[in-house]
Chain A
Amino acid sequence: MKGLLRISIICSSLWVTSCDVVNLEPISTLTEANFYKTADDMDRAVLGVYNRLQSRLPRDWSVFEMPTDHLYMSAYRFIGGLEAVNTLDFQAQNDIFRNFWQTTYNGIYRANMVLDKIDNPSNYAAGQKEKLEGEARFMRALFYFDLVRSFGGVPKVDRPLTVEESKSMPRATEAEIYQLIVDDLKKAVELLPVQSGTVYGRASKGAATALLGKVYIYLEDWQSAYNFLNQVDQYGYGLVDNFADLWKESNEDNKEAIFAVKYLPGSNGHRLSLDFLPYFGVEGISNSTGGEVALVGWSLHKQYLEEDTRKAATITEYWRSPGTNDPLEWKPYISKFIAQQASASGLDIPVIRYADVVLLKSEALYRLGRKEEALTELNRVRTRAFKGTSHNYTLADIASDDQFLDVLLLERQLELALENQRWFDLIRTNRFIQVLSKVEWGYNPITQTAQEVTLTPKPSHRRFPIPQHEIDQAYPNVITQNEGY
């Protein structure tokens, strides 16, 4: 029996270890329980919000440039659903829309988490809390702006949800979403420091002001748009002298970069540079591979005049197989974003730059009847592009409002090509049916013929379809589909 006693002692002591074995804490993983405690935690959480945009942005062209006349599919089909977007065959099942929706809402979630926890820390430096809140609001507004322009009214999520809540939340109206955006941006303008008070790659007062002005353009509130766009000037932004300099890593933090997402070559780079490179690479950039996921459409290509400095900075027409002495071949490709380290490029991607603000301001002024001032703004961009005033427009060139829209859209196309503006510009000006019914893709310089393609844009294309997957995840009949899908 002594043995039994001994054993029961052993056993009962082992009971204690059972708790030690089971009640364990994570060693290398942060959890909601131990994060969002300090000012530094909150700062990192805000960087997490930027991180989401940083990862989405390099492929935004697949949603916003692919359906336009700027791009067409190559033979290398790595991205599922891309050809359908290219040919305006929009389907609710398309993964491109789904990924865009999911990533953007994840960004919103991260911003909501920051706003939800912003009062937790007590060790903020002076002004830090305001700055962080302003950044989270700016980013949330930016994400919603992308969503509302793409899908129309979407579920309005302005705080962290439970899974249950997320299944029963219906779409808000477009107006409600815009209200959220305007509110957030107004607050952000108030809270954010000016550019000199922060670093490049983080939102500033100027960025929030510019974005708010742009939002009012979409709301067709021309006066408010003008007011905010005009305020941007007071923060010291301006056009860089040489258009090509905008696309150099060495010149990233320039006066035109109102808000650009930062990348570092290698360690924090993107693949946009590689996406448009010819499949077999480009000498000195990527010696053996390129994405060649999409090629530059002749519809865009032909718009560039030879003397336009933006042409060479946007498109490279001739190519030779790297490592060979083959003669140069006609093989136009987008070279705007080419960077030395193509597979992990450090080239920043602009979200809103001063040239965009200038063109938007021009538009607002014209709509307000201030045509002369409108042309002055438009010509600022052209003067830079043509290294002089030779190609400036005069009032005499613009016979009608429609014609103004023609030159404005052309200018936006040439200036902001592949910067994800074209689709929204066509939609908001109602030009998309006219422009996209017939597009030109490839071009054969020997035969001097372009490949004409007939598409069938429909009014319903104004909105992308709500991803079917997301409709299915919600409870039945909670999320309605857009008209026409």
Chain B
Amino acid sequence: MYLHSNGQKRVRFLKKHVLAQIALSLWCFTFSFASPLRIQEMLNKRISLDLENKRMEVVLKTISKLSGASFMYSPELIRSERKVSVSAQNQTLDSVLHELLDPLNITFEAHENQILLRRNRSSAFDPSFPGDSPLSEQAWAENRVTGKVTDEKGEPLPGVNILIKGTQRGMTTDFSGAFEIVVPSDESVLIFSFVGYLSQEVTVGGRSRIEITLQPDQKTLEELVVVGYGTQRKSSLTSAISKVENRKLDQMPAGRAESALVGRLAGVNIAQTRSLPGAAPTITVRGPGSISASNDPLIVIDGFPGGSFSNINMNDVESIEVLKDASSAAIYGSRGSGGVIIITTKKGSQGKPKLNVNSYVGISQPLLHGRDKWIPGGQEFYDYTARYINRDYYWAGGDISLPLWGDERRPAQYRVNPVIAEGDWNWEEILLQPAPMQNYSVSVSGSRNDAKYYVSANIMDEKGSMMTTRYKQYLLRANVGLDISPRVHAGLMISPNYTIRRSNYGGSLQNLIKMPPFLSPELQPDGRYLTPRDYWGMTVSGGVNPLATVLGSHNFTHTFNNVGEVFTRFNLLKGLDFKTSFGFNVSYSTTDNYAEAKVTANNQASGSASDSRVFNWINENVLSYYRQFGRHELNVIAGASYQHNQSRTAALAVQAGTFANPTIWTLNNAIISPTGSYTSKSQWGLASYFSRVNYNFDDKYLLSASLRSDGSSRFGPDNRWGYFPSASVAWRVSQEPFFKGVRGIDELKLRASYGAVGNFNIGDFQYLGTIGDAVYSPGDQLIQGKAPSSFGNSELQWEKTASYDIGIELGLLNNRINLVLDYYNKATNNLLYNVSIPAISGFTNTIVNVGDIVNRGFEIELTTRNFVNRFKWETAFNFTFNKNHVKSLGGGADQVLNSHSRGMSWILKEGEPMFSYYAYRMAGVLQTPEDMVNYPIMPNQRIGTVRYEDVNKDGQITPDDRVILGNFMPKVFMGMVNDFAYRNFDLTIAMQSSLGAKMWNLENLYYQGPTVSAFLIPTIENQWWSPDEPGDGKHPATSLASLEFVSNSDYYLENASFLAIRNINLGYTIPSKITQKLKIDQLRFYLSVSNALIFKHKDFKGYNPEGFTSAGISGINSQPGHNDGTEPINRVWALGLNLNF
């Protein structure tokens, strides 16, 4: 029994809860944007009408239209279905209302432009009300109860329904939240209910005054969820959608908005693979399904598809929804296969301007291995180096009893210079140090006359814990909504932002950290940094000093990006709206690189520059129709969308060694290289038509179906168009009469969905046979020759993902426990990927549509409100299990293998997870010369290397002995967020766990001493050093000279499971008594710690179990799970404040 009014319900609802999501809803604003008039002005407004025997609600609606006022009432209490007549000629609103309502014993109260209708306090008895009788009225006359209802913040709640339990008698609170009601007895129970709040039952118990606070129903079933092209009530969803509201997400000290979502969404794995400032994490929704066409989800920002988290300030975010199953994503058709993430930004709030300030300063502290994990400089380092080099010498057949230094008989490369025993520097500590970060956000939102606005500004400055790296971002946003007329609404959104990023070393951290402890970081008097070979010309690593690298490399990327959109929404007919929008995303990026001579191996300064420009416009036109008739509810949309993307890149390179002097770093100081400089342009376009029907019968049976067709320029003329249908149904069992008796279960919904989505993320024009450059220099003249660079394939078409999802939603104990279970099966067919073809065709591979990959899994989302009173504790837990396998590779191939030069392979094989590791299994170490005879070995294998398992027992180690050794994907990942509140304190703890992923941690190799470098103890302990020091039989000799007989096994595969406390946020809100005096609505201080604790598997030796240097899955030659040295995770301590005026 909710309050119902001609649209006003929504406004109320809007104010209290979901604010802006609703702005996207196409049908709820029909009457809600009347201009605010002053009360008296409104009541004095003159209207004329003549209605005979019409339903009360129709009459009120008419008055509302004529006067601009909107009504708020409980349909039951005023019996809005009864028929009345009213007639007025140029009368004031006030007199019309009196004329209409007084005889019905209904009073009215006006506030701003709202008019609250209530039953007359002095006469709770209404003779026309069924079930009421004058007799009982008299009997109750003694027990008159007054009181006040407030919300959780102590603000009065007008319009709250108060019902005497077991009767249909009731009352509504007035604008000050006050009520007065006559009850039959002391035992009477009053039920207080209000949209968006938990109902409360109170026994009168002889009291004459009752003050009560209603608690918001966070998980109310009336919660709105943003879906593609609209919103839906959560209760009527038929598909798998996860939602995160921005409650404290903007208080996590992190450069990227995605980081705040880690561990909060079932089925969504967000992995922070690199820890450089501004580095984007990888997001995978329900497992990867594509080989070459990208597994990234589509990001939709306020309806603009194809955005990026890098352009988002978390402070501006209202909520984030993830459309996980194909049924919900199908409305984005062609691009939904990686899932869809919808970001909704804040919109203007009603009423006076509200200022919000959110700011924090913090410090990033890298989680290092620590000094005690490294072999210190000095004698110990010398000894280890000597062991390392003697081992190589032993293999080369040398006499290791020869003196290590000063003996001509020992070949140069096997000598050890005693100079390396001097100095004790730890390069990890030198390069990685705590670094500050700061973030300032200010936003103002409000409304004035016909306009609502939200504007914000944000400055973020994050220094990397890796020396000299930095990320600065300046963001602005304006979201404006305009009511041009009662039927026309328009909006504007712009979000320009500018980022500056400095990333001062290329590739992998190991190149720097591996430096031996004798290498000094001190600047020499001649302005140089020493290199290892300054100490000892021979044998040591040839690199430059890491400080020269990081201080001498000047790599800057400046990016300007703006997503902007304007839209207009017309209300054409009752329930029928048309919205048309034009949006664009414009992006400019420039990169300037300069490496000082000291950085480079050949002591020549180098430089390059590149520019890129992307202009992407989109036009969308959507008709939507909403109608409720009886127990039927119908919501239909139909629309068309056109998108065009143009890009241009320019690159400039200089000829090696031509910088005229080290003073000027720009390229005007050097000779431009003809082969490295170019401009190029490309474009793609997408035209789409879509429609969707949502039908709801009696809130019990829900049905949704959609169809989208997309045409893409990336496919040949005959295969451009793809069709993406979906259908889903849900049954709210708990709404059935037979279920009413079931105690404890408030909500039980069963749902099932099926849908198809597509993928077109291949390069532009790949269906055409392209001709590329093939430069040659006959006669010493450089000429751009040409040669075919790809096979044309006019048959190329959409990659399609068809998936079904079965879900159960359960609400228990007054919805204090909410459980959502989903099982899904996601099959990606017609994979777009480069299959191998016979090289005699001229090419080794060509892009085709073959093969299937399946992801199956289940998800649990469990939210509980453990304590709801003074001490509040809420828990949100999610669990995801995903299993990926290749169903078919097509083209006659049953496996595809790609190999790293150090021996590890990645395999695509039918029945196995995609890109599984494929190599030899280590059975032990060849410890003694006898082992070399007793066990099968590979040709040229050395003692001390891996003893391989002879899988096929044929007495030799051949490629047939290779086996599948796990993969990079976690089998299970979980997240848990606990929110606590007590008095003015609040605490949030967010945790994340991932189980079952394996990393090929080749990084270890660099910390094992090759060519005289640092030794990381966990990577070298118990190794085989010589027949006299054979180690523990589990750790082979890891020398470069024998590495191929180590790294082609599972020796470097490590368990990358972990449990992380990703964020702890402790806040204190200054009591309102104090803040009110300062005219502040709210002032909260918080301490936030990101990556507070990480528990890694004991065998894991890297910095970051999610840290991969390989770029995930991006084509058939991907080597996901390979780590060559990612940065340590940063623990960030931040102190922030949140201020609302």
Contact = CB atoms under 8 A, between A and B. Distances in A.
Interface string A72-84: 0001111110011
A110 B713 contact: no
Given A163-B791, A201-B779, A472-B893, A266 B768 contact: no
Interface string B959-972: 10000000000000
B784 A44 contact: yes
A102 B839 contact: yes
A459 interface: no
Nearest to B619: A14
Contact of B542 (A84, A101, A288): A288
Interface string A1-21: 001100100110011011111
B776 A83 contact: no
A48 interface: yes
Given A21-B713, A45-B786, A161-B840, A31 B602 contact: no
Contacts of B791: 163
Given A87-B939, A106-B839, A267-B782, A28 B601 contact: no
A51 B765 CA distance: 24
B647 to A, nearest CB: 10
Contacts of B682: 26-29
Nearest to A104: B839
Interface string B393-436: 00001000000000011011100000000000000000000000
B771 A11 contact: no
Nearest to B487: A3
A262 B542 contact: no
A105 interface: yes
Given A44-B785, A264-B777, A266-B656, A14 B838 contact: no
Interface in A190-223: 199-202
A262 B778 contact: yes
B577 to A, nearest CB: 11
A122 interface: no
Contact of B675 (A76, A155, A268): A268
A430 interface: no
A220 B681 CA distance: 55
A4 to B, nearest CB: 6
B384 interface: no
A26 B765 contact: yes
A436 interface: no
Of the listed residues A11, A33, A83, A474, the one surrounded by the most CB atoms of chain B closer than 10 A to its CB is A11
A10 to B, nearest CB: 7
A451 B397 CA distance: 9
Given A21-B713, A201-B777, A286-B602, A11 B621 contact: yes
A89 B1044 CA distance: 15
A280 interface: yes
B350 interface: no
Interface string B663-677: 000000000011100
Contact of B779 (A78, A91, A262): A262
Contacts of B861: none
Interface stretch (A318-326, A350-358, A397-405, A416-424): A318-326
B538 A77 contact: no
Of the listed residues B533, B674, B1041, the one surrounded by the most CB atoms of chain A closer than 10 A to its CB is B533
B757 to A, nearest CB: 19
Given A11-B640, A28-B681, A266 B673 contact: yes
Given A21-B686, A280-B537, A51 B774 contact: yes
B691 to A, nearest CB: 13
A142 interface: no
A329 interface: yes
B959 A93 contact: yes
B1 interface: no
A478 B959 CA distance: 23
A109 B771 contact: no
Given A35-B771, A49-B787, A77 B778 contact: no
A52 B787 contact: yes
B333 interface: no
A425 interface: no
A75 B713 contact: no
Interface residues of A, number: 109
B788 interface: yes
A321 B397 CA distance: 24
How many B residues are at the interface, by size bracket?
35 or more
Contact of A24 (B673, B685, B776, B846): B685
A201 B775 CA distance: 13
A21 B778 contact: no
A321 B788 CA distance: 45
A321 B538 contact: yes
Interface string A339-361: 00101100000000000000000
A263 to B, nearest CB: 7
A23 B717 contact: yes
Interface in B34-60: none
Interface in B692-713: 711-713
Nearest to B580: A10
B628 interface: no
Interface string B1014-1054: 00000000000000000000000000110110000000000
B843 A474 contact: no
Given A264-B782, A323-B533, A444-B411, A52 B774 contact: yes
B842 A106 contact: yes
B792 A31 contact: yes
Given A21-B642, A50-B785, A89-B939, A264 B792 contact: no
Nearest to A167: B838
A109 B842 contact: yes
B834 interface: no
A30 B789 CA distance: 10
Contacts of B623: 7
A196 to B, nearest CB: 12
Nearest to B841: A166
A100 B365 CA distance: 50
Given A11-B640, A167-B838, A266-B655, A27 B780 contact: no
Interface string A242-264: 00000000001100000000111
A266 B604 CA distance: 13
Nearest to A79: B901
A32 B770 CA distance: 6
A31 B785 contact: no
A303 interface: no
B125 interface: no
B777 A45 contact: no
A329 B412 contact: yes
A106 B843 CA distance: 6
Contacts of A19: 687
B485 interface: no
A54 B776 contact: yes
A475 interface: yes
Contacts of A324: 533, 537
Contact of A169 (B570, B675, B840): B840
A181 interface: no
Interface string A158-170: 0011110111010
A29 B764 CA distance: 10
Contacts of A30: 770-772, 786
Given A31-B765, A446-B408, A22 B838 contact: no
Contacts of B531: 288
B776 A287 contact: no
30 contacts: A3-B578, A7-B570, A7-B572, A18-B642, A21-B711, A26-B768, A28-B679, A32-B769, A32-B792, A35-B771, A44-B783, A50-B778, A84-B939, A89-B939, A110-B774, A110-B842, A199-B779, A201-B777, A262-B776, A262-B779, A264-B782, A267-B673, A288-B601, A320-B537, A321-B533, A323-B533, A344-B656, A447-B409, A469-B836, A470-B840
Given A7-B570, A106-B844, A200-B780, 5 more contacts: A22-B687, A22-B711, A31-B765, A324-B533, A451-B397
3 closest A-B pairs by beta carbon, nearest first, are A109-B842, A47-B785, A321-B537
